Structure formats: C-alpha cells, structure tokens
Amino acid sequence: MTRPRRYGDAGQAFPIYITVVGGLLFLALAYFAVGQATVNRSGAQTAADAAALAAAQERRDQLVAEWTKDVLDPSKWQQIFEGDGQELSSPCWRASELASQNDARMLGCSPHGPLDFTVDVETNKTMGKSVVPITESKRSKAHAEAVITRLCEFKPLPVNAGSEVLPRLTCKDGKYWDIDPKELTDLPKAQDLFDVHLVG
C-alpha cells in the first residue's frame, strides 16, 4: 500500500528553497564585488609604488650625473651624497609617467627632504558594476613612499692633498673605488652609489 503524497509540505518548502538560493546568490555577488574592489585597490597600489620608485630613481640619476660632473672637486661630494645637488629639477614628471603606464593618474608627488618622495595616485578605472551601487563610480586611491639611501662613504682629504688625489669611496659589501683623476673611465654606477627602495 502506497502512502499518498503530501503536496502541502512540498508547497511550503518551495518558498524556503527560493529564499535560500536567493540569499546564496546575493552573497556570491557580494563576494564578487569585494573581489573587484580588491583587484582595483591592488592596481592602485602597484601604480603608486611604481610612481614613487620612479621619482626616487630619477632623483638618484640626477645626483649621480652631478657627482660625475664634479668628481674632480671633492669639496662638492658631501652635499651631492646628501641629495643637495646644484641643478636638480623635480623628478615628479617620472612619477606621473609611471602612474599613467599603470592605468592611474597621479594626485600628488611630494619630496620629504631631498632623498624621500611620497606619491598619491587614483585608478582610471572604477570598481565596476555590482550589487553594491557605489562601486560603479568608485575609484581606488593609494599612497607610496620611496627613499634613496647612500651606499658609500668617504673621508675628506687633508687641505694640502693637492689635485692629484681623490678620496677613496668605501661602499656596501666591501666595495671601494680609488678614483684616478687622470683616468675617469671606471666610475661607480648609480646602483653602486645609492639604493632606492619603498618604505611603509
């Protein structure tokens, strides 16, 4: 003997089933929106990091060019190694360029001393459409800071040393340069004199 089907129970379960499925679908869309926001934010941070490093590297290259030009005048070495060159233009154009290459725009570029640069950027793309209405027009912003660290030290020469001798550059990892004023073809490179890295 077969039992009769209870259609009333099935009818009551259907709205619950629809509610549960709808809730799960909403959660899935919400997680997707969070994922979109995370990817957008990550892109903004990548752009900010690249921009800050570009500004610092541009300033480093300017300092090395100044040092190379004045290498025979060791009285100027100290101020150059401290970031105080004579003909330094703002390196923020490089930061703007790198932000643009990473699909963002630079909001600000500020030097904090001659060897420290902070950059703020905003993504060109929004977070996209999702169940969270604000993401359609929301752009991610990010901040980054890069610093230049000198890698070499030197002892000033005695006053009576003359022009035939230049100070020895003692650098990281035991490297050193004894620069011959008559033979300036083997000068240290930018990466030998300064390190550029992100902080924070």
Ordered by start, the domain boundaries in the chain are 12-149
| Closest of 38, 194, 54 to residue 118, by C-alpha | 54
- pLDDT at residue number 131: 47
Q: Average of pLDDT values for 7-27?
A: 62
- Distance (Å, whole) CA 96 – CA 105: 7
Helices (H), the chain: 7-69, 77-81, 92-101, 190-193
Q: Find the range with the poorest average confidence among 10-14, 46-50, 100-104.
A: 10-14
Q: In the 8-state DSSP scheme, what is residue 52?
A: H
pTM of the model: 0.75
List, as own/partner pairs, every contact residues 173-181 make where C-beta atoms lie below 8 angstroms and the sequence separation is at least 24, other chains included: 177/152, 179/71, 181/72
- Distance (Å, whole) CA 77 – CA 67: 7
Distance of alpha carbon 191 from the chain centroid: 17
Burial of 99: CB neighbours in 10 Å, binned 0-12, 13-18, 19+: buried
- How many angstroms separate the Cα of 34 from the Cα of each of 26, 28, 29, 132? 12, 10, 9, 9
In the predicted structure, residue 37 carries a pLDDT above the cut 60:
no
Helices (H), 82-182: 92-101
In the predicted structure, residue 3 carries a pLDDT above the cut 90:
no
